[in-house]
Structure 1
């Protein structure tokens, strides 16, 4: 036996991880859960990035139903974030999908864990060990992918 699947929601920017939420076993992410998660993220953002306090926050997320439902959109509006557009079915433009999680999965690949807590601990250690320039590189790739998407008039941006 090994640990089960662990679902993580990661909020990050060019400087690194701001907040990670690990979904409790047996729970699902719905609009209310995500809205509460946005509140927790916002608290960590204020604490970890105080220089953003008086700046407009550009917020990027994919267009999964839980992210675009009325309660989540209301929370984003309440927090005063400017939501960047994300075309439908475009994992090629979601930095966590093309950059952050694939590299984490490679690092975790082949390892066996006795518990979900061990997976969480190792995931935290992985992110803590990354050089800060790593996250900046992920944001630079987003800029390049957006440019390519525009040049391709919205067509899929391949690796």
Structure 2
């Protein structure tokens, strides 16, 4: 599991910006695409087979123990629906030491859902696959 900020903008596809031109003519001028100031927090749960569940946080909200407990409950139902065979053999969860992840409400919800939380040493590098595979730039 990992959280990341993503920007809300739609880049123009390459096919939409194609133009006919002569070989001797200069390349067409193109306006620079800039990211909008609006951004949203994406929470992503995945396993070795791919993404299980994503959640986009509403603007103006923060990640709390209550919010994260709700995500864990949704994750349990998604696992039962999508990865039933893995759900039966036990689920290990690895995430960083953010306060919402260590909150008592979150830990109790994880235990009720049958999840085992793997320890994440403090000050260790957070090298989540989503940092490299999902969002390469």
1:87 corresponds to 2:121 = yes
The match for 1:52 among 66, 86, 94 is 86
Displacement of 1:101: 2.7
Which whole-Å CA distance do the structure 1 matches of 2:71 and 2:131 have between them?
19
SS of match in other structure, 1:52? helix
Q: Scaled by the length of structure 1, what TM-score is found? A: 0.59
Alignment: residue pair count: 102
Structure 1 gap segments, 5+ residues each:
107-159
Secondary structure at the aligned position of 2:60 is classed as coil
Q: 2:55 aligns with which of 21, 29, 49?
A: 21
C-alpha distance in 1 between matches for 2:99 and 2:136: 24
- Once the two structures are TM-superposed, the CA of residue 17 in structure 1 deviates from its matched residue by 0.2
Larger C-alpha radius of gyration, 1 or 2? 2
Shift of 1:36: 0.5
Bigger helix share: 1
User: What CA distance in whole angstroms lies between the structure 2 residues aligned with 1:25 and 1:14?
Assistant: 30
Partner of 1:144: none
Q: Point out the structure with the larger strand share.
A: 2
**Residue aligning to 2:130:** 100
5+ long unaligned stretches in structure 2: 1-34
Normalised TM-score (structure 2): 0.68
5 Å matches for 1:38-49? 38-49=72-83
Flag the structure with more relative contact order, 1 or 2, with Cα contacts below 8 A and sequence separation at least 6: 1
Q: 2:97 aligns with which of 63, 74, 91?
A: 63
Q: 1:11 aligns with which of 23, 45, 48?
A: 45
Q: Secondary structure at the match of 1:7?
A: strand
* Deviation digits for residues 50-89 of structure 1 (CA, Å, limit 9, x no counterpart): 1123211111111111000100000111111111111012
